[in-house]
Amino acid sequence: MHKSSGRGRMRLTLSFRLCAVVNVLAMLAQALFAGEILAGGASGQELHLAMARFLILWGVLQVAFAVAMKAKNLCPRWLLASAGGVLLAEILEFGLGKTNHVLLHVPLAVAIFGGTVRQLLWATQMRNRVAIEEAR
C-alpha cells in the first residue's frame, strides 16, 4: 500500500473517531441541560435547544465521514446505516422536543445515545485493529 493512502486512511478513521467522541460528550452535556430544565433552571431550555442544533449539524459531519469511510471500504455497512439512523432520529428528536412530546422525546434520546456509543466503541476498536495491522 502506498504511504499516502495509509495516511489518508488513518486520517479518515481518526476523524470519525474524533466525531464520535465529541458526539457522545455533547450528548452527555445535553442530558445535563435536560436536568437543568427539570430543575427549573432559567438557562436550561436555551442550552438544550442550542445543543440539539449542534448535535444535528455534528451528525451531518459524522454521516459524511461514514460515507467517505464506506467508499474506501474502511467500515462496515451497518456503521453508515447507524450514523444515518442516528441523524434522522436526532432530527425527529428535535421536532418532538420543540412540540413538547416528552413521552417520546426521552426514550428516543436514550436510543440515540446507545447508537452513538456503539459507533464510538466501533471506532475505538478500529483504532486497535489499525495499530495491530501497522505493527505487522
Give the CA diameter of the chain: 57
Containing structural domain, residue 29: 3-135
**Locate cell 467522541: which residue?**
21
Q: Quote the pLDDT of residue 61.
A: 97
Distant-in-sequence, close-in-space partners of 34: CB < 8 Å, separation ≥ 6 = 44, 48, 109
Report how many domains make up the chain.
1
Q: Quote the pLDDT of residue 2.
A: 46
pTM: 0.85
Quick count: other Cβ atoms within 10 Å of Cβ 33?
20
Q: Quote the pLDDT of residue 129.
A: 62
Q: Which among 118, 120, 136 is positioned nearest to 13, based on CA atoms?
A: 120
CA angle centred on 29, ends 100 and 82, rounded to 5°: 80
The one-digit pLDDT tens for each residue of the chain (136 residues) are: 444 467 778 899 999 999 999 999 999 999 999 999 999 998 999 999 999 999 999 999 999 999 999 999 999 999 999 999 999 999 999 999 999 999 999 999 999 999 999 999 999 987 656 555 555 5
